[in-house]
Structure 1
Amino acid sequence: MTGARPIAVAVVALCLALTGCGVPAQDEPHEVALPRRPLTDASSTVVSADPVGQAAQVLCLVHEGRLAQSVRRADAALSPQGQLDALAAGPTEAEQAQGLSSALAGLSLVLATPPVAAAVTVEVTEADEGAARSDEILAYGQIVCTLTSRADVSSVAFTRGGQPLRVPRGDGTLTEQPLGAEDYQDLIGPP
């Protein structure tokens, strides 16, 4: 009689473990989205353009007039300048097919200073510096949100010709101060 009790306890524990975990049984494998660092607390669109690779590279592109994250996979992590170069190159064909675009046409982006205390400075030049841009907020939002998606960057400041550049926040106000993704929170993700 004493040997039956441990067996009964083991059977009950096994039954609870098999039925109580909350994950339903599936016949087929399915894709699992791994957690990533969010742009802000607001929801954001995540598009995985490249399904292979060990390192996830987050680029913020534009989808229907809002900022949306696209995750590209690569064998190795890009440097901040490499990530800026990928952003300036624009969306891939797969990203374009998903409705993603970029507001960065005509901008040249150079990391003016390496990350120091998690802050970077980006030197911006435009092909036609006299042209007014209606998508300027989205363009700067793309840069800020892409760079601050990295664990080693918390803020981005901008310069032109080595001088501080006043750029728009998500609400349209201009600032020379370093910006973070929270400055563009209202533009991130679906409306």
Structure 2
Amino acid sequence: MKRRHLAPLVLATLLAGCGVPAEDTPRRVHPPPGPFPAPVPAATTAPAGRFDETLCLVRDNHIVPVVRRVDRPFTPEEQLRHLLAGPTAGERNDDLASALPGAVNAAGATVTGTQARIVVVGPGADTGRSDEVLAFGQIVCTLTSRDDVNTVAFLRDGRPLGVPRADGSLSTEPLTRADYTPLINAR
């Protein structure tokens, strides 16, 4: 038998052996009793148990929000720790960096009401770094990306710390994302 005649024969044999008998007339199919599970809404795109975490990194002297997928909800303290750890290898390949190392030493974050309070330790008031604005902006933009944080206050030795804003002015008042809007790029 020639090879080109073999393929249809194999296909016919496979179809005939699939175990479903042919019927000449349609018949009614009765659904099984009991409630059926509700379909999953189409808007659910994230796998169960996964959460979006926004971290603000730096590229070309601008703040760039980056969304990472994490397996569980995260606290402001954990989000700050993730930010302080810097960009992943993939983010570095996308030319993302952090202005935080050497500019801001944040020791912790607590939330009271809708305000995050960041305790800053280390370098004095003037470190001579030109990227302090970006460093503080990274923290403010990262923490205000949360639904439970509207403002961020910086403290050193229990007192408000003067923090540079995008316009170059220093503020001891709680800061918002709007204080850094001129520096924020959408990826």
TM-score (norm 1): 0.68
| 1:80-99 C-alpha deviation (Å, 9 max, x unpaired) | 00000011111010100001
Which residue in the other structure is 1:185 paired with?
Answer: 181
Task: Find 2:105's aligned residue among 104, 108, 116.
Answer: 108
Q: 1:124 aligns to what SS in structure 2? A: strand
| 1:117-163 C-alpha deviation (Å, 9 max, x unpaired) | 2011101123x436321101000000000000000000000011111
TM-score (norm 2): 0.69
Q: CA contact under 8 A between 1:52 and 1:74: conserved in structure 2?
A: no
Matched, 1:90 2:106: no
Task: Find 1:81's aligned residue among 77, 80, 104.
Answer: 77
Matched, 1:118 2:92: no
Distance in 1 (CA, whole Å) between partners of 2:127 and 2:179 is 24
**Identity rate, percent:** 45
Q: 1:144 aligns to what SS in structure 2? A: helix
Q: CA contact under 8 A between 1:59 and 1:146: conserved in structure 2?
A: yes
Which residue in the other structure is 2:55 paired with?
Answer: 59
The amino acid across from 2:80 in the alignment is L
The 1:152–1:90 alpha-carbon spacing in structure 2 relative to 1, beyond 3 Å, is same
Matched, 1:163 2:159: yes
How many angstroms does 1:52 deviate by?
A: 10
Q: CA contact under 8 A between 1:147 and 1:153: conserved in structure 2?
A: yes
Distance in 2 (CA, whole Å) between partners of 1:171 and 1:53 is 40
Q: How many aligned positions are there?
A: 141
Q: 1:81 aligns to what SS in structure 2? A: helix
Distance in 1 (CA, whole Å) between partners of 2:48 and 2:121 is 33
Distance in 2 (CA, whole Å) between partners of 1:73 and 1:84 is 15
Distance in 1 (CA, whole Å) between partners of 2:145 and 2:177 is 8
Report the RMSD for the aligned CA atoms in angstroms.
2.3
Greater Cα shift, 68-77 or 51-60: 51-60
| 1:46-73 C-alpha deviation (Å, 9 max, x unpaired) | xxxxx99710110000011100011110
Q: CA contact under 8 A between 1:55 and 1:75: conserved in structure 2?
A: yes
The 1:159–1:76 alpha-carbon spacing in structure 2 relative to 1, beyond 3 Å, is same
Q: 1:101 aligns to what SS in structure 2? A: coil
Q: CA contact under 8 A between 1:52 and 1:73: conserved in structure 2?
A: no
The amino acid across from 1:183 in the alignment is D
Q: CA contact under 8 A between 1:59 and 1:69: conserved in structure 2?
A: yes
The 1:52–1:89 alpha-carbon spacing in structure 2 relative to 1, beyond 3 Å, is farther
For the pair shown, which has the larger CA radius of gyration, 1 or 2?
2
Q: CA contact under 8 A between 1:54 and 1:76: conserved in structure 2?
A: yes
Which 5+ residue runs of structure 1 have no aligned equivalent? Answer: 1-33, 35-50
Which 5+ residue runs of structure 2 have no aligned equivalent? Answer: 1-44
Distance in 2 (CA, whole Å) between partners of 1:94 and 1:53 is 23
Which residue in the other structure is 2:17 paired with?
Answer: none
Q: How does 1:5-20 map to 2 (within 5 A)?
A: none
